[in-house]
Amino acid sequence: MVAVEDVSATIEPGSFFTLLGPSGSGKTTTLMMVAGFAYPTRGEVFVDGRSVAGLPPQKRDLGMVFQSYAVFPHLTVFDNIAFPLEIRRARRAEIRERVGEALELVRLQGYDRRLPRQLSGGEQQRVALARALVFRPRVLLMDEPLGALDKKLRAHMQLELKHIQRHLHVTVIYVTHDQEEALTMSDRVAVMQRGRIEQVGTPAELYEAPVSRFVADFLGESNFVDGMVVGAPTAGRWLVRAAGGLEFRGVGAVPLQAGQLVTAAVRPEKLVPVEGPVGVAQTGAVNTCKGTVEEAIYVGDATRYRVALGADGAVTVKVPNRLGLRQPAEGDAVILAWSPDETRVFPRGEA
């Protein structure tokens, strides 16, 4: 069985790089190959331009934080953090100083004599982080480090982790299946599926310009409409005709051709309900369509609508809640408008 098929990425020093994907996509295996706990049958791993693929983990000088914390239960917080320094035969005074710094960094001053079982999950994870950073590794690897924490603590730790990473200027390779976490923390994200990288880019690039249906679906939320390309593109916008007769323009994620079967994706917040007839549809500057509000759900910051488009099914529309804005009600007929630039068109057939 092949867990990781073809993965290539270059990571800028001092940047926060995330491997994002569903379980079984090969993200952890990729990280383990960087760490040295899994050996690739083919390929190379370079750190600072030097190949490390043949080295055992203990010789790679990479810090690692595990989902299970892996804090040594028989050692105090101080001894846990001092562990990599003692292995490197650092002097006592230096150990004391650097462990002190590390404790301050993760804000655990005064915890040095406690045992792991006296700490909460979040505190144990901080100890693991301090321990992985104290020997100033070339790269910090993190395997779903916040997966075991509750939602609120996780959000807090995300910001703190990001802050520490910026402060120390350490290169981080981070593994997560949580797309929100990936978008919040990363400079660049690689979206993985079935052992391959689907797309690498900044969070904004991935969100605004996904190259495949999988990425559009996995990151955030998308409305998908199946259709066919009609004719040649005008100004880079392809005209797509959906099975139910709806026509709209969009940007091709990859080179397309007339007659090709495609799927188009639009984010719910890019669809805007407008009042009255809009006469610009033919110009191609704006896409429009008619629909009926089936369902309106108030979710706090926004209202989510389910809008039926007749033969072309239904789409989800997300409208921010503002006072004074007239909101459509269930049963209302509405016209939806959206930009062709925010419509991504993918060839169909791929999953």
Partner 1 sequence: MSPRPVAGTTIDASLAPERRDAVRYLLILLPATVVLLVLFVYPLLGLVDRSVYKRGAGYTLEFYGQIWRVPVYLQVIGRTFRTSALVTLMCLALGYPVAYLLATLRPRLARLLMIVVVLPFFTSIIVRTYAWMVLLGRNGVVNQSLTWLGLTDMPLPLLYNQGGVLIGMTYVLLPYMVLTVYSVMHGIEPGLIRAAHSLGASRWQAFRRVFLPLSLPGIAGGTLLVFILSLGFFITPALMGGPSDVMIAMLIEREVEFTLNWSFASALAVILLMLTLVGFVGYNRIVRLERVFEARG
Q: Which residues bind partner 1 (CB under 8 A)?
A: 35-37, 56-58, 61-64, 66, 68, 70-74, 83-84, 87-88, 128, 131-132, 135, 141
**E-state strands within the chain:** 16-20, 46-47, 50-51, 62-65, 139-143, 171-176, 188-193, 196-201, 223-234, 237-242, 247-252, 261-266, 272-274, 287-298, 302-308, 314-320, 333-338, 344-347
Q: Identify residue 195 by its one-letter amino acid code.
A: G
Taking the C-alpha atoms of residue 75 and residue 12, their distance in angstroms, rounded to an integer, is 35
* Nearest approach, Cβ of residue 37 and partner 1 (Å): 6
Residue 40 or 57 with smaller CB distance to partner 1: 57
* Nearest approach, Cβ of residue 102 and partner 1 (Å): 13
Residue 132 or 172 with smaller CB distance to partner 1: 132
Per-residue tokens: 112: 């040095």
Per-residue tokens: 59: 């010789």
Residue 19 or 216 with smaller CB distance to partner 1: 19
Per-residue tokens: 6: 């073809």
Residue 32 or 266 with smaller CB distance to partner 1: 32
* Nearest approach, Cβ of residue 121 and partner 1 (Å): 13
* Nearest approach, Cβ of residue 29 and partner 1 (Å): 14
Taking the C-alpha atoms of residue 24 and residue 175, their distance in angstroms, rounded to an integer, is 12
Per the CB < 8 A criterion, the answer to whether 4 and 29 are in contact is yes
Residue 135 or 207 with smaller CB distance to partner 1: 135
Residue 276 CB-density burial (10 A; 0-12 exposed, 13-18 middle, 19+ buried): exposed
Residues in the chain: 351
* Nearest approach, Cβ of residue 70 and partner 1 (Å): 4
* Nearest approach, Cβ of residue 87 and partner 1 (Å): 4
Residue 141 or 289 with smaller CB distance to partner 1: 141
